[in-house]
Chains A and B, each alone.
Chain A
């Protein structure tokens, strides 16, 4: 084995692609025959081989994005941010009129996360596609035998893994302090918060990837991401509260207000689990709306999936 071949083997062994390679692709002939060009992509993806290929492409892109985010210190920065803000909130804050004990802390963490998580997710995702195009990487990747939608999905999943990891580790530190302070019995309410936070982060990351897909320049994507944050985190709640205060609205409209904002869905999801309205604002108004945990979870999941599905569709039209 030559020195260069040895180095390649080392690189591949360390690379997650090694797992991909071992998943049945090694039997492919080197420089084999040109495949017949009869079946459409849709037909092809319906076959087991096509499905395996799609999974491989998404996985490779996701692993690459994850690796890049870790190396650019995004993962460390987000984790540190969540640790610092979470610990500060636990130390110095707490709702004066909300629940007591651990639930009060979780309610306070929810209020913090409602601002912090969307901002972090949007910052992490706004350059996902347009940034790669600026680098010159997107044109190269799109010239490979991969669907553009697979690149979008892989990009989202890779960055979502970074965000979810940072959320769990960063706020997990607060959770550890919580358990130490109030005992393991309070872990359940914190777990609900953690799951909701990951869901809200996933929703805003999906929106960011969508913005990145349609934006022609990174600055446009950044500006749009900031507007999205202002709308969902600051303005939407105020408007909803005003409308609810001014009119007698049926429950269905209240539910629509919640479902139309992932931040509201996250707040109501976590706080309804605590049996409190300590989040204040529009969330307090929703105390009696009887939204089920399942419906709120579905709403957050939809906020994750729909923007990515739209991005996967629109990226086909993107001109490089």
Chain B
């Protein structure tokens, strides 16, 4: 499913969270959203799942406006918020059963598959959530997202708080989803190597606007740093970092389009 945001504005009181943001995420892509704190990443995600309405502009998933068809769109979207939590009195498996029942999903072993996929053992899934670590809660959250085999996965800083093994396992899950399904995966992260590893496209948000967007290769090649050409495979990382720096600077490197990548002030 394709995602389109067009000239989206959103303010909360005096704070402008999104200021004319426009962004297109192709169907089936793995798209990373980069940005500093307060750049508007979480606000964009909230609009995508219908938690909030834009003050102006349109947000569409699969061609349907989220403000008009939010509930139908959410049938095909799995969303993992930044702060994941579950009622202490439920077991992991019961949390999944609630999700499954609300979505009206068939009982075809998908709960067990989702548990297995995110690396929770059956015993852990049967335990009360109150005994879960932060990492286990995020795994359970990911399982709830995977349950309906969604067309779109929206993951808000999914590796925050995970230990290195958890991060690796999350990366493996996303790679598996990317390889095996046509799902569009959108996630935001502060970790550039993570975006480089998992995404085929990315955008940098700053002050509620898209400052740079394009394929990872385009972004990496857009602003190579001196000496990059001698560093072999590290060139891309340094290039992406340079684009990020330029995009989030108060005075960006300049309005330019380099190899299909737009860096605008």
Binding site for B on A (CB under 8 A): 2-5, 7-9, 11-12, 15, 17, 20-21, 25-26, 28, 30-31, 34-35, 37, 40-41, 44, 53, 56-57, 60-61, 64, 67-68, 71-72, 132, 134-137, 139-147, 319-320
Contact = CB atoms under 8 A, between A and B. Distances in A.
A173 B109 CA distance: 45
A150 B148 CA distance: 20
A26 B91 CA distance: 24
A135 B86 CA distance: 6
Contacts of B151: 34
A140 B104 contact: no
B254 interface: no
Interface in B62-79: 62-64, 68-69, 71-77, 79
Given A56-B104, A319-B52, A320-B51, A139 B81 contact: yes
A257 B95 CA distance: 45
Contacts of A60: 98, 101-102
A160 B41 CA distance: 39
Top 3 A-B residue pairs of the complex, sorted by shortest distance between their CB atoms: A136-B85, A4-B112, A37-B64
Given A4-B116, A41-B71, A60-B102, A12 B107 contact: yes
A147 B85 contact: no
B107 A11 contact: no
Nearest to A17: B101
B84 A142 contact: no
Contacts of B76: 34
Contact of B107 (A26, A40, A319): A26
B163 to A, nearest CB: 20
A17 B75 contact: no
Q: Chain A interface mostly helix, strand, loop or mixed?
A: helix
Nearest to A68: B89
B66 to A, nearest CB: 10
Interface of B: 1, 12, 46, 49-52, 62-64, 68-69, 71-77, 79, 81, 83-91, 93-94, 97-113, 115-116, 122, 125-126, 141, 144, 148-149, 151
B51 A142 contact: yes
B58 to A, nearest CB: 13
A8 B109 contact: yes
A137 B122 CA distance: 22
B122 A4 contact: yes
Contacts of B108: 30
27 contacts: A7-B126, A8-B109, A11-B91, A11-B94, A12-B111, A17-B101, A25-B105, A34-B76, A37-B68, A56-B102, A64-B87, A64-B98, A72-B89, A135-B86, A136-B81, A136-B83, A136-B86, A139-B51, A140-B81, A140-B86, A140-B144, A142-B51, A143-B51, A144-B103, A145-B75, A145-B103, A319-B12
A61 B84 CA distance: 18
A68 B107 contact: no
A4 to B, nearest CB: 4
A21 B72 contact: no
Q: Chain B interface mostly helix, strand, loop or mixed?
A: mixed
A20 B72 contact: no
B103 A140 contact: no
B99 A144 contact: yes
A145 B102 contact: yes
B106 A140 contact: no
A20 B144 contact: no
Nearest to B73: A37
A145 B50 CA distance: 10
B104 A143 contact: no
A163 B189 CA distance: 44
A230 B105 CA distance: 46
A25 B122 CA distance: 26
Contact of A9 (B87, B107, B122): B107
A266 B265 CA distance: 65
Given A7-B125, A144-B99, A35 B75 contact: yes
Contacts of A71: 89
A61 B77 CA distance: 20
Contacts of B122: 3-4, 7
B105 A28 contact: yes
A131 to B, nearest CB: 9
Contacts of A28: 104-106
Contacts of A57: 102
Given A30-B105, A60-B98, 5 more contacts: A4-B116, A7-B93, A56-B104, A143-B50, A319-B52
Instruction: Point out which of A7, A68, A135, A145 has the most chain B C-beta atoms below 10 A from its C-beta.
Output: A145
